[in-house]
Amino acid sequence: MPEPQPSSARPVAAEPTAAQMPSQGRATEPTTAELLSRLSAQSTELVRKEIELAKVELTEKAKHLGLGAGLFSTAGLLGLYGLAAAIATAMIALAIVLPWWLSALIVTALLFVAAGVAAMVGKKQVDRGTPAKPEHAMASARLDVEEVKEARHRDDTA
């Protein structure tokens, strides 16, 4: 059995596809249509990636906000316990010079006065914040719309 002889011919390279070959009379640069097609595809991909990044970022921020809110709640509760202890301390301190019932009554009355003052100040702040709509921004937007209408009317009559 004779052994196959190595071919002295060079290997034939694969023919380039039509997309790989520049057409007759066309430079190697892409056409405007091809560029616009690429722009559209790349813009879509960019927007998709930006939205994905925003989701990841917002998820991470939401975790931190949740943890922070929980810790603030804990701080508020511990502060409330501290306030209760301070109130008890004030009653005990007053009980040194007054009867227990009178020291408790004085501290309770002071707490109700402080609560009333806080309620009145809070009501004033709520009244300043209502109605909850951006009145100045809405008025400014109305003026802008009127200005555009007038400018368009002037252009139509000119």
* Strand residues in 1-154 grouped as ranges (E): none
- Give the whole-angstrom CA distance, residue 88 versus residue 82: 10
| 158 residues of the chain, pLDDT tens digit each | 455 555 444 444 455 555 555 555 555 888 988 888 888 889 899 989 999 998 898 888 899 999 999 999 999 999 999 999 999 999 999 999 999 999 999 999 999 999 999 999 999 999 888 877 777 788 888 888 888 888 878 877 76
41 vs 18, 34, 53, 90, 99, CA distance in Å?
A: 22, 11, 18, 72, 84
- Give the whole-angstrom CA distance, residue 75 versus residue 90: 22
Which pair of structure tokens corresponds to residue 146? Answer: 């009127």
The pLDDT assigned to 118 comes to 95
pTM of the shown model: 0.48
